[in-house]
Structure 1
Amino acid sequence: MRLRVAGVIVLLYAQPVSRIVRLTLDDVIRDGDTVLLRLGESPSPIPEPVADLLEHIAHRDNMNTATNPASRWLFPGRRAGQPFRPDHLSALLNEIGIPAVAARGAAIRQQLLDMPAAVVADVLGYHHKTATRLRNETGGTWSRYAPGDHGRSPAGWTPRGTGDS
């Protein structure tokens, strides 16, 4: 189950294995029927079939040893207080057919074709320059997207037709 959860996070959220092993129980947020995963500024929703996989949390490996009974890591390691080793998780993912590095690269590029780089960077926890560079390499078309709150007017600006003539 641990490999399924890690593989889904690589494939859907373009996360490196080194970041996946550092996720804690606090990064999985349950809000009613919705399950969110905190990867960047704002938590990302987890689609329903995948949210069921996160039941893995209740049955995590390496929890019944004397060194890990209260571990907060989503992927606890064998050593006390340490997460699962990223190199070992990457090798296990490769064994089941998920080449972690290639899959992550493909996933982030697909996200950048579907959404603006600024949004992808904020939601997935990437640096804005990295997301923009990858978008340019991918050929994304969101080059004129202005991030920010578009629901409010700039200071001192009034829409046409509302001022005195």
Structure 2
Amino acid sequence: MLLILYAQKIANISHLTVNDVHINDGTVAITFGTSPIVLPVPLASLVRELVVTRRGKAEIDTPDDVPWLFPGGRPERPLGDDRIGQRLHKIGIRPRQDRSTALFPLAAELPAAILARMLGVHL
């Protein structure tokens, strides 16, 4: 959903940490660039659950001090971009194509400089 709704690259998604997620008074926001973006209710619930239940792919249990939102097999590394890409392909999401498609409506709604700052997209 982060790729489709916010046109994020897989590399940006894989390197998200729990510190990039902000849960306050019933709202959930996530920071990709410099400004947190409030997530819509269905996605907010999923991200809130992910923060609590996340675990690495090869770990029996992920230690609490692992910062990654998507932990990899080793605590010091996030889940690899290639693994995320493979998982997305399995459920019918084509990362490059779908990310490009997501950028068009976002670009139509916001000035380029603001969109770039919010999403961490560099001109």
Specify if TM > 0.5: yes
2:118 to 118, 123, 145: 123
Q: 5+ unaligned residues in a row in structure 1: which ranges?
A: 1-7, 130-165
Matched to 2:78, the amino acid is: P
RMSD value over aligned CA atoms?
1.8
Q: Deviations over 1:106-134 (max 9, x none)?
A: 1112200121111111110112x2xxxxx
User: 2-side partners of 1:64 and 1:116: how far apart?
Assistant: 42
Matched to 2:14, the amino acid is: V
Matched, 1:80 2:75: yes
Contact 1:68–1:81 (8 Å) recurs in 2: no
Contact 2:14–2:70 (8 Å) recurs in 1: yes
Tell me the residue number matched to 1:33.
26
Distance 1:68 1:76, change over 3 A: same
Matched, 1:44 2:37: yes
Matched to 1:89, the amino acid is: I
Tell me the residue number matched to 2:103.
108
Q: Deviations over 1:88-145 (max 9, x none)?
A: 1101101101111111111112200121111111110112x2xxxxxxxxxxxxxxxx
1:65 to 51, 59, 65: 59
Tell me the residue number matched to 1:24.
17
Task: Pick the structure with greater CA Rg.
Answer: 1
Structure ranking higher on relative contact order (CA contacts 8 Å, 6+ apart): 2
Matched, 1:10 2:6: no
Q: Deviations over 1:18-49 (max 9, x none)?
A: 11000000000012111110011110110111
Matched to 2:19, the amino acid is: D
Matched, 1:91 2:118: no
Matched to 1:18, the amino acid is: A
Percent identity (aligned): 35
TM score, norm. by length of structure 1: 0.68
